[in-house]
Chain A
Amino acid sequence: MEPESRKILVLFAHPGQRYSQANAQLAEAASMSPGVTFVDLYAEYPRFKINIETEQQRLLDHDVIVFQFPMFWYSTPALLKEWQDLVLEYGFAYGEGGDKIAGKLFLPVVTTGGPEDFYRVGGRNNFPLRDLLSPLEQTANLCGLRFIPPYTLYAAPKAIGNERMNRHLEGYRQLLKALRENRLDMDAAVKLPVLTDDTLPLIKEATP
C-alpha cells in the first residue's frame, strides 16, 4: 500500500544569513526536498510584521512542523520567538477550543556555535541541549504536538566544508524524507536526547 505522504512545513529563521554557512546549506537542502514547504521567516517578515492568519493557515495545511534555526542565547532567534508569541494563539493552539494543530509532529532543527561537550552538566553551558530547549518542548506539549528531539549540528562553524557537514546535510535530507513517508521510528526517537546524522532511528517500511 502506498503510504500517505505527509506534508512538512519548515520555518527557517536566521537574521544574519549573509554570515551563515551551515544554516544556508541546511535551508537549501530543506527547500529542495520534495513535499516540503520552506518559509524564510526573515525574508517574509523583515520588519517583524507577522501575518497571523497566513501563519495559522500554514500550520493547518501541514502535518509536520519544523523550526530550523541557529541557537541564539539558548533559544530561538527573535523573529521565531515573535512568531510563537503571535501565531500560537489561545483558542487556536491551546486553551479552550485550541486543538487546531494537535496531533501534528514538531521538530526543531538547530545548529550551535559550541561543541557537544559544552552542552552537559558541568560543561560550559551547564545544561544538555535538550534541557535548554525545554521551553519549545513544553510549548509543543501544550499545543498537543508530538515533540521530536532536535536534529542537531554542534559546533556548526567548524563543520563548514568538511565531511561532518556533508553527513549532517545528508542526514537532514533522510530525516525529511522519513518524516514525509512516515518512516521515523517515533518510539525510538523520543527516547534519544538529540538526533544527529548517525542516530536517526529510521525504519525500512512505512508505518501506516
Chain B
Amino acid sequence: MTGLLFQAFVYLCAAVIAVPVAKRLGLGSVLGYLIAGIVIGPVLGLVGSETEGIQHIAEFGVVMMLFLVGLELEPRTLWTMRNKLLGLGGLQVGVTIVLVMAAAMALGQPATIALAIGLVFSLSSTAIVLQTLNEKGLMKSDGGQSSFSVLLFQDIAVIPMLALIPLLALPELAHHGDGHGGGHGAEFSLIEGLAGWQVAIVNIAAIAAVIAGGHYLSRPMFRFIAASKLREIFTAAALLLVVAIAFLMTLVGLSPALGTFLAGVVLANSEFRHELESDIEPFKGLLLGLFFITVGAGIDFTLLFNNAASVFGLTIGLMVLKAAVLLGLAYMFKLRGADQWLFTLALAQAGEFGFVLLSFTVQNSVIPTDLADLLLLVVALSMLLTPALFILFDRVVLPRMDKDQGRDADEITEKGAAIICGMGRFGQVINRVLKGNGYETVVLDLSAETVDGFNRFGIRTFYGDASRPDLLGAAGLEEAGLLVVAIDDMERALEIVKHARRERPDLHIVARARNRHHVYEFYKAGADDIVRETFDSAVRASRYALEAFGIHPHEAEKLVTMFENHDRDGIRRLARLYDPDIPAFENEPYMKLAREIQEEMEDALSDRPSVHDEVRRAWLPPGAKAQDD
C-alpha cells in the first residue's frame, strides 16, 4: 500500500510541477509530462522497474483519446475526408516505409528487419500531435485537418501492420524473443489456434458488434442509466463502454484504439455525445499524461549515452526524412504557406504505436532485442523533440508567414479616395460599402492569405505593412480623402494614425478600436471617428434582449439609444483623465469619474422620479403635461 501511494505521489507530484511550468514556458503539456518522466526516472531514480506495468495502464489513455476523436467525427465528416485520408495518409505511410526500409538496408539491415523498421517509423504520434494541435487551436486549419487525416490513416494502418509483422519473422531469432515483455499481447485470446479466414470472420463479427451495439443498444442503455440521475454511474458506464470495447478488440487481436475510435464515430450522432465526452475527458487527460511520463521515465540513459552519436544521428535522420516526405506530400496536396509547414513539422516524429509495434516485432522474432532497444530510444527521442518542432513552427514559421513571409510589399499601382488598412472582417465591410457606392479604395493587408484570396476573388488588395510611411505614401496618403484603420495590431494602428495625422492634418481618419483604452489612445493620436469593434453589435444584441423581455421595440430602441449616447459622452469625458502610464484601476480620478458616469447611466435608465427622465421628455405628446401615473 505504501509503495503504491509513494508511486502515485511521485507521478502526480512530477506532473503537477512539470506541466504548468512547461506550459508557462510555452513548451506545451506533452513536453512537460515527458520531462517529468525523465526527472523521476533516469535522473532521480525514484521510479524504474514498474514503469512498464504502468505503461500498459497508461496506453489506455491513447485508447480513450481515439474514442474522443471518434466522438468528434460524424460519419459524414469522415466520408468527406476520404480523399485526404486515403491519398495523403496512404502515401505518407507508403512512401515513408519504402524510404526508411531503403535507408535501413543501406545501413546493412536485412530486408525483413528493414521493412519492420519502416513500419515502426512510418507512424507518427497521434497523442502528441492531436493534443498539441488542440491546445494551440490549430485543429481547424488546413494543416491541422490534413495532419488529422494522416494520423487517422496511421491508426487504422496499425492493424494490417500487426498482421504483417509475424510473416517477417526470422528463424534465427525465434525462441529468444519476448525479452521485451508487454506489448498488446492479451492473456487469453479468442483467435488462438484459428485459421486465417476464421480470424477474419471473428474480427468482422467483433467490429459489427461494436457498430450495431453502438447504434441500437447504446441509446436505450444510456437513457436508462441517465434516468437514475447518478452522475458517477453515468461516468462508470462511459468508462465501461470504452473498457469493454478495448477488451473485446484485444480478445480478437484487433487494435483497442481502433475499436474505441469506431465506437466513438458510431456514437457521434448520439444525444449523449457531450456527456460522454465530458466524462471521459479527464481520464483521457490523466492517462495520456501518465503515458508520456512513462515514456520519459523509460528512457534508457545508459544505452543512450553509450550510443549517443548513433541514436541522435538516427533520430535526426528519421525526422528529416519524414519531414521531406511530408513536405512533398503537402505540396502535392496543395497545402501552402503556414499550413504546409504545420503539416510537415507536426508529423515528423515516430509515435506511441511505434512502441507497440516494436514490442510486437520482438515477440515475433522480427527484430533483435538490442536493436529494438536502440530503436525505442529513437522513437522516444523523436517524440521528445516534437514540441521543439512546434516551437519552431510558432517562433520561426508563423511570424514569417504573418509578417514578412519573405515576401516584399506589393507595389501599389492604384490611388483612391480612401485608404483602407486591414481587410479583416471589419475592413471588408467598409470596403464593400465604399466600393458599392462608387468610391475607389486602396486596400492594404498584412496577411498573404487574405491578400491572395481577395485578389483571386477580384477585389484588388495589396500586401504590405501599412505602418510603413513609404507604403502609406505609395497608397496615396497625400491625396486621399479618408483613411480607415482596421488592423488588429494596436501598436501598428496607432503608428499609422499618428503618422497620417502628422502628414495630413486635414485628413479624415476612421479607426477601429478593440476596447475603450484603445479609444483613448486613438483620441490622443488624432483619429476623427473611433469605433469600438464590438460595441455597436453588443448594443444591438442588448436591444434584442430588452425586446425579448417584452419591452416595446420602440421603447427598447429609445433605451439603448440613450445608453449609447451616455456611453459615448462618458468615454469622451474619461479620455481626458486616461493616462496610459497608470493602470486604469489605479487611476483614482479616472475611476471616480467612471463610477459617476455609471451611476448617471443607471439613474437615467431607471424610472426613479427624482431623475430627469430623458425617455419621457422626448416622447410625451406635445402640449400634454407629463402625467404622474
Contacts and interface: CB of A to CB of B under 8 A. Distances in A.
Give the contact-size bracket for chain A: 10 to 19
A19 B629 contact: yes
Interface stretch (B371-379, B547-555, B595-603): B547-555
Interface string B519-557: 000000000000000000000000000000000111111
Interface string A100-114: 000000000000011
Contacts of A43: 552-554
B316 to A, nearest CB: 65
B552 A42 contact: yes
Contacts of A46: 553-554, 556-557
B609 interface: no
Contacts of B621: 16, 70-72, 113
Interface string B594-629: 000000000000000000000110011111101101
A113 B620 CA distance: 11
Contact of A113 (B554, B616, B624, B629): B624
Interface in A143-201: 157
A46 B620 CA distance: 16
A77 B552 CA distance: 17
Contacts of A21: 629
A74 B124 CA distance: 82
A18 B552 contact: yes
A134 interface: no
A17 interface: yes
Nearest to B557: A46
Contacts, number: 44
> Size band of the B side of the interface?
10 to 19
Nearest to B626: A19
A73 B623 CA distance: 7
A17 B552 CA distance: 8
Nearest to A112: B623
Nearest to B621: A70
Contacts of A114: 623
Interface in A32-82: 42-44, 46-47, 70-73
B555 A72 contact: no
Interface string B338-349: 000000000000
Contacts of A19: 616, 619-620, 626-627, 629
A73 B622 CA distance: 6
Contacts of A128: none
B555 A17 contact: yes
Contacts of B615: 18
A98 interface: no
A39 to B, nearest CB: 13
A21 B616 CA distance: 14
B147 to A, nearest CB: 48
A95 B311 CA distance: 94
A17 B624 contact: no
B624 A157 contact: yes
Given A17-B552, A19-B629, A113 B623 contact: yes
Contacts of A16: 616, 619-621
Nearest to A17: B552
A157 B616 CA distance: 16
Interface in B555-573: 555-557
Contact of A42 (B553, B622, B624, B629): B553
Given A72-B621, A73-B622, A157-B627, A15 B554 contact: yes
Nearest to B551: A18
A183 B128 CA distance: 84
A97 to B, nearest CB: 31
B169 to A, nearest CB: 79
B622 A72 contact: yes
Contacts of A71: 621, 623
A73 B620 CA distance: 11
Contacts of B555: 17-18
Scoring A43, A46, A73 by chain B CB atoms within 10 A of each residue's CB, the highest score goes to A46
A146 B329 CA distance: 79
Given A42-B554, A43-B553, A46-B554, A15 B623 contact: no
Nearest to A41: B554
A31 to B, nearest CB: 14
A15 B619 contact: yes
A46 B629 CA distance: 24
A173 to B, nearest CB: 24
Contacts of B629: 19, 21
Contacts of B620: 16, 19
B235 to A, nearest CB: 49
A70 B555 CA distance: 17
Q: Quick one: which of A15, A70, A114 has the most chain B CB within 10 A?
A: A15
A43 B553 CA distance: 5
A21 B627 CA distance: 11
A53 to B, nearest CB: 20
Most buried by A among B557, B616, B619, B620: B619
Given A17-B552, A19-B629, A47 B622 contact: no
A196 B620 CA distance: 24
Nearest to B623: A113
Nearest to A21: B629
A71 B622 CA distance: 8
A46 B626 CA distance: 22
A47 B556 CA distance: 10
A143 B556 CA distance: 35
Interface string B275-297: 00000000000000000000000
16 contacts: A15-B554, A16-B619, A18-B555, A18-B615, A19-B626, A42-B552, A42-B553, A46-B556, A47-B557, A70-B621, A71-B623, A72-B621, A73-B622, A73-B623, A113-B621, A157-B624
Interface of B: 552-557, 615-616, 619-624, 626-627, 629
Given A15-B554, A21-B629, 11 more contacts: A16-B621, A17-B554, A17-B555, A19-B616, A19-B619, A42-B552, A43-B552, A44-B553, A46-B554, A70-B621, A113-B623
Nearest first, the 6 closest Cβ-Cβ pairs linking A and B are A16-B619, A113-B624, A42-B554, A46-B557, A46-B553, A46-B554
